[in-house]
Structure 1
Amino acid sequence: MKILLLVSAFNGLTQRVWCDLRRSGHDVSVELASAHTDEDGLASAVAMAAPDLIICPFLKHRVPQQVWGKFPTVIIHPGPIGDRGPSSLDYAIAEAAPRWGVTALSAVEEMDAGPIWAHREFDMPQDPPSKAALYNGLVADAAVECVREVVAKAADPRFRPTSQDQVPRPIDGTRTRPSMPQSARAFSWSDSATSIVRRVRAADSAPGVRGTIDGRVVSVYDAAVGETVSPGTTPGTILGHDGDAIAIAARDAAVWIGHVKEPANLGGNGVKLPASAVFDVADRPALTAPAALRAARYERRGDVGMLRIRAYNGAMSTRQCERVATELRAALAQDTRVLVVTGTDAFFSNGINLNVIETAPDPAAEAWANITAINELCTLLVSCVSQLTVAAFGANAGAGGVMLGLAADVVVARSGVVLNPFYDMGLYGSELHTYTLPRRVGAGTAQRLLTEKLPVDADDAARIGLVDAVGPRDAAAFDGWLWDLAESHANPQWHNSALDQKLRLLGDAFPPAYYEAQELSQMARDFFEDRNGFAAARAAFVGKHTPDRTPARLAAHRWSLTGER
């Protein structure tokens, strides 16, 4: 089937749908609605594709009547039947909805009002997830199931979607609601820590919640509940810090905040940054943040150690890499046989932190510090001969984050994970990828991945050898599967044989430092000479600028006309 994905951005969910449909044999193309300033231009672009079916996994724009009136067009809405509006997940988290869902419906004149093609419902976690984690997890899983059902029904000429008036609502109370305003998100530090954290997570990763910290108005993100505060502590007081995060007193407990943004309209730079980089906390006590906000956490079971790293939204700053390196060295010094390095259920890593680089006094120098810091992590993994190392992609990864995982001896992924094993932004790339990537997939495939710049999901990654195994999609099941896999690799005979083979490989080629030096010689030119437009690409990314065209590599419907790919 000829399918067009009409989207506002080629985000993680869109990439997952794109990979899934292509693997099923469909002819899939992408058109960014955000690249068009008028409905006529968008309608012309869609007509060029002449699709059998249009699917909109992530669309903030209204679909013109010229499009949905001519081509079957299905919106994937992140809410159950009857829910309408742009803030569905915000309300679901903020109001502690016990169940939520995803609905596939036809595009019509009124937003989210079209007849139903498919729907899925799921239980919401009791501990409120961030909006980004919910979207990339349970919502994405339900959306992919809906897309598969939509495609199957679109192939049946007898199928007709059902009017919403004729479909029972599986979740009570669904209705049309407006975009959630800041007034509905607002909190006071005199509120309970739990209620504050829930409000922040309902707005994370966008738009954040306005709050006042140390007399400054900021947008707050990345929150967790901490320890009970001492009686008499004034709500709003900064209690201390740990890594990127700062602790602030609420009515009953500390609220840890990992990231904040000073709004541009209030004199700030408008960029989301680690909280400890925005507020001067040097004279505040050093505390221990909740596990959910620590840079890394280590756990040991017998001969297996597991290091869980945390990169907020996938970005790893220089300081974040340095903290992880400290924990990684300690983990590698243990007398275990196997070390597993994994991320969170929401993110693994996307490499260097562009926000921190963009706002640094000397962005080129900060970028250099950042790349050398993440390279240190890769070097520690790739040169380890005392333990077998396992990297586990439990969530999506991109660019240097993928290459960081490839530095391990064994690489596995959770089903449904999407990897972007290439560099963009005008960067050559480092993270020892010229050493590790060809050894995994071969020189030809490595070159194709780096030049085509297309995502691969876990199943395709296993097919080409990018990963060694794919585990269950359910997060808890994947965690158990991962421990079992690591324990099987701790078998002395298997373990010793694998390390002997690694020693031979290390001795048969130039040392990893040779490849790093070659890569950094290229990255130095990208950072300091800006030969490929890194500064402009970085600024556009940080500023969330709308692209003026769909990338040629995604717009298959244009290839015969432009010759671009």
Structure 2
Amino acid sequence: MTTEDVLLTADADGVRTLTLNRPKAYNSLTVELKERLLAALRAAAADDGVRAVVITGSGKAFCAGQDLKEHVGLLQAGDSAPLQTVSKHYNPIVRTIVEMPKPVIAAVNGPAAGAGAAFAYASDLRIAASSANFLMAFANVGLGPDSGASWSLQRLIGYGRAAELMLLARTVDADEALRLGLVGEVVPDEELAARAQKIAAKLANGPTVAYAKIKSTLSAAAESTLEEALAAEDAAQSALGATADHAEAVEAFVTKRKPVFQGK
């Protein structure tokens, strides 16, 4: 692996960390980076050895969103590929994050804008560095939201706030993001990587099969009636009750020891 790689991958304690690595361009998303990220997320989802995923950025930014320089250059060259990037890249990336059968943590190390911010919104947990901020700037360039932001952002902070941030294209700093519930925690910049790894490692040591069911039932309940949510919970509990992890947790409780989960 070289420093020229646009996406860096590191594994430790069951955690796979994916680092967007175009620091001079604020980790803006080129076709190459989008394709690499999508492939890496799919690989992490399919790898039983990966029990939690961290997404972060190198340098001073998390992700500035679409690389507009490449976008404009391709359009001027008569290439229509940029017009398909939402369906070809952004939608599959967000779908893979949301449907990942293991926890995904966004370690937001700096500014996150557009699709970059949407990737963080789609993650299960968001930890922000003090220097982080979030910007939905689509309206500034005459566009609407993409990358699932219309779906994820209002689930985090409510319709009214989501509309405000999108219509006014207003930057939200880390402290306000914490107040709004956009992130769960803000830490000093120099502590972010270690904090994200600690939380991810804790999750990786937990009952990951249960985490997958928690994610799926929450997603289902967000769009269902009470009866449908109750049915989904019942189905999930029935399946989880037969898992080795649940049996291990019960035995550990009875014998007064710490359970050792295997994600099975």
Report the TM-score, using the length of structure 1 for normalisation: 0.36
Which amino acid in 2 is paired with 1:404?
A: F
Q: Does 1:345 align with 2:59?
A: yes
1:358 shift after superposition? 1.2
Give the secondary structure class of the aligned counterpart of 1:316.
coil
Superposed, 1:184-195 pairs within 5 Å as none
1:462 shift after superposition? 1.0
1:367 shift after superposition? 2.5
Question: Given the alignment, which residue of 32, 45, 49 partners 1:319?
Answer: 32
Question: Given the alignment, which residue of 166, 187, 192 partners 1:450?
Answer: 166
CA offsets 1:126-175 (integer angstroms, 9 cap, x no match): xxxxxxxxxxxxxxxxxxxxxxxxxxxxxxxxxxxxxxxxxxxxxxxxxx
Q: Does 1:381 align with 2:97?
A: yes
Indicate the residue corresponding to 1:404 in structure 2. Answer: 119
| Structure 1 residues 368 and 320: CA distance shift in structure 2, 3 A | same
Q: For this pair of structures, how many residues does the alignment match?
A: 217
Superposed, 1:145-294 pairs within 5 Å as 290=2, 292-294=3-5
Q: Does 1:415 align with 2:130?
A: yes
Indicate the residue corresponding to 1:482 in structure 2. Answer: 196
Indicate the residue corresponding to 1:508 in structure 2. Answer: 221
Find the aligned partners of 1:508 and 1:480 in 2 and give their Cα distance. 33
Question: Given the alignment, which residue of 296, 314, 332 partners 2:7?
Answer: 296
Give the secondary structure class of the aligned counterpart of 1:299.
strand
1:389 shift after superposition? 0.8
Indicate the residue corresponding to 2:16 in structure 1. Answer: 305
1:395 shift after superposition? 1.7
CA offsets 1:483-535 (integer angstroms, 9 cap, x no match): 11212223425x55543331112323569xxxxxxxxxxxxxxxxxxxxxxxx
Find the aligned partners of 1:472 and 1:499 in 2 and give their Cα distance. 30
> Is the 1:307–1:339 contact (alpha carbons within 8 Å) kept by the matching residues of 2?
yes
| Structure 1 residues 294 and 319: CA distance shift in structure 2, 3 A | same
Quick one: higher RCO (CA 8 Å, sep 6+), 1 or 2?
Answer: 2
1:393 shift after superposition? 0.7
| Structure 1 residues 497 and 327: CA distance shift in structure 2, 3 A | closer
Superposed, 1:36-185 pairs within 5 Å as none
CA offsets 1:15-56 (integer angstroms, 9 cap, x no match): xxxxxxxxxxxxxxxxxxxxxxxxxxxxxxxxxxxxxxxxxx
Give the secondary structure class of the aligned counterpart of 1:445.
helix
| Structure 1 residues 367 and 429: CA distance shift in structure 2, 3 A | farther
Q: Does 1:334 align with 2:50?
A: no
CA offsets 1:33-83 (integer angstroms, 9 cap, x no match): xxxxxxxxxxxxxxxxxxxxxxxxxxxxxxxxxxxxxxxxxxxxxxxxxxx
Which amino acid in 1 is paired with 2:13?
A: G
Indicate the residue corresponding to 2:108 in structure 1. Answer: 393
Give the secondary structure class of the aligned counterpart of 1:342.
strand
Indicate the residue corresponding to 1:533 in structure 2. Answer: none
Give the secondary structure class of the aligned counterpart of 2:110.
coil
> Is the 1:318–1:374 contact (alpha carbons within 8 Å) kept by the matching residues of 2?
no
| Structure 1 residues 479 and 509: CA distance shift in structure 2, 3 A | closer
1:355 shift after superposition? 1.1
5+ residue gaps, structure 1: 1-287, 512-565
Indicate the residue corresponding to 1:273 in structure 2. Answer: none
Find the aligned partners of 1:324 and 1:491 in 2 and give their Cα distance. 25
> Is the 1:298–1:331 contact (alpha carbons within 8 Å) kept by the matching residues of 2?
no
Which amino acid in 1 is paired with 2:17?
A: M
> Is the 2:97–2:122 contact (alpha carbons within 8 Å) kept by the matching residues of 1?
yes
| Structure 1 residues 496 and 469: CA distance shift in structure 2, 3 A | farther
Find the aligned partners of 1:366 and 1:349 in 2 and give their Cα distance. 21
1:337 shift after superposition? 1.9
Report the TM-score, using the length of structure 2 for normalisation: 0.75
Find the aligned partners of 1:317 and 1:297 in 2 and give their Cα distance. 15
Which amino acid in 1 is paired with 2:45?
A: L
Q: Does 1:462 align with 2:178?
A: yes
Which amino acid in 2 is paired with 1:389?
A: V
**Higher gyration radius (CA):** 1
> Is the 1:393–1:417 contact (alpha carbons within 8 Å) kept by the matching residues of 2?
yes
> Is the 1:317–1:353 contact (alpha carbons within 8 Å) kept by the matching residues of 2?
yes
CA offsets 1:273-319 (integer angstroms, 9 cap, x no match): xxxxxxxxxxxxxxx6x2x3212122111222211122433321223
Find the aligned partners of 2:177 and 2:209 in 1 and give their Cα distance. 27
1:437 shift after superposition? 0.6
Indicate the residue corresponding to 1:354 in structure 2. Answer: 68
Which amino acid in 2 is paired with 1:431?
A: S
Larger helix fraction of residues: 2
Find the aligned partners of 2:172 and 2:111 in 1 and give their Cα distance. 10
Larger strand fraction of residues: 1
Which amino acid in 2 is paired with 1:408?
A: S
